[in-house]
């Protein structure tokens, strides 16, 4: 009788020591990106990030597009080329097409209050937050305005994620401890049957 009670107490103690399951994390923050090339082609990307905010440069880098940035431009990071379109920095000046009266470059925009707003800082100096719509457009400009990206809704780029409840994922130690308890219980039952 004492063995049975002590085994039961040990099993209850082991179960009470089991840590709570971990909830699997999903989603995170997202920002939409619109890039209009000099030929008029438009690319859109939905970029996920776990931080509260990322820089405009980091958003471009995480988009999977090929981006060349001159971080020493003194303008908070000047974008020289996106997907090969623009200036071939460092072999060319980052503003290679902006050397006189005609000025073409990558203009940076933020969607604010239902319209594109020209960015007053460069890609490294601007913090992009969850739900932001960011735009880049190659074309003529004068460093206070540029070619405006096309109007696209955030929801058209970053579609609503399917809402699934968090999944309980047991820790490896939990599974190991539970398995050891069950193996001990099976050994106890086997020993009791053999003793009869």
pLDDT digits (tens, 9 = 90+) for 63-109: 999 999 988 766 667 899 999 999 999 999 989 998 888 899 999 99
Confidence at 10, pLDDT banded by 50, 70, 90: very low
Percent of the chain with pLDDT over 90: 51
The residue that leads in pLDDT, 11 or 16, is 16
What confidence score (pLDDT) does residue 11 get? 42
With a CB cutoff of 8 Å and minimum separation 6, the contacts of 181 are 11, 14, 15
Mind listing the pLDDT tens digit for each residue in 139-186?
Answer: 998 877 889 999 999 999 999 865 554 555 555 555 545 455 656 656
Confidence at 25, pLDDT banded by 50, 70, 90: very low
Mind listing the pLDDT tens digit for each residue in 114-140?
Answer: 999 999 888 888 999 999 999 999 999
Would you say domain 29-157 falls under CATH 1.10.3470.10?
no
Chain-wide mean pLDDT for the chain?
79
What confidence score (pLDDT) does residue 99 get? 85
Domain ranges of the chain: 29-157
What confidence score (pLDDT) does residue 193 get? 72
Percent of the chain with pLDDT over 70: 67
């Amino acid at each position: 009788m004492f063995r049975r009670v002590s085994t039961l107490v040990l099993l209850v103690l082991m179960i009470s020591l089991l840590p709570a399951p971990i909830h699997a994390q999903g989603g995170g923050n997202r920002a939409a990106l619109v890039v209009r090339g000099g030929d008029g082609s438009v690319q859109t990307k939905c970029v996920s990030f776990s931080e509260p905010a990322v820089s405009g440069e980091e958003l471009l880098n995480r988009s999977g597009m090929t981006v060349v940035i001159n971080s020493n431009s003194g303008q908070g990071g000047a974008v020289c080329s996106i997907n090969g379109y623009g200036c071939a920095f460092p072999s060319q000046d980052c503003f290679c097409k902006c050397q006189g009266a005609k000025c073409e470059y990558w203009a940076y925009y933020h969607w604010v209050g239902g319209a594109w707003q020209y960015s007053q800082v460069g890609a490294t100096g601007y913090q992009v937050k969850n739900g932001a719509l960011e735009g880049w457009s190659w074309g003529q400009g004068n460093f206070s305005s540029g070619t405006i990206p096309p109007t696209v809704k955030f929801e058209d780029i970053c579609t609503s994620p399917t809402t699934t409840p968090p999944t309980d994922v047991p820790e490896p130690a939990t599974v190991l401890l539970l398995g050891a308890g069950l193996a001990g219980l099976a050994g106890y039952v086997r020993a009791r049957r053999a003793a009869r």
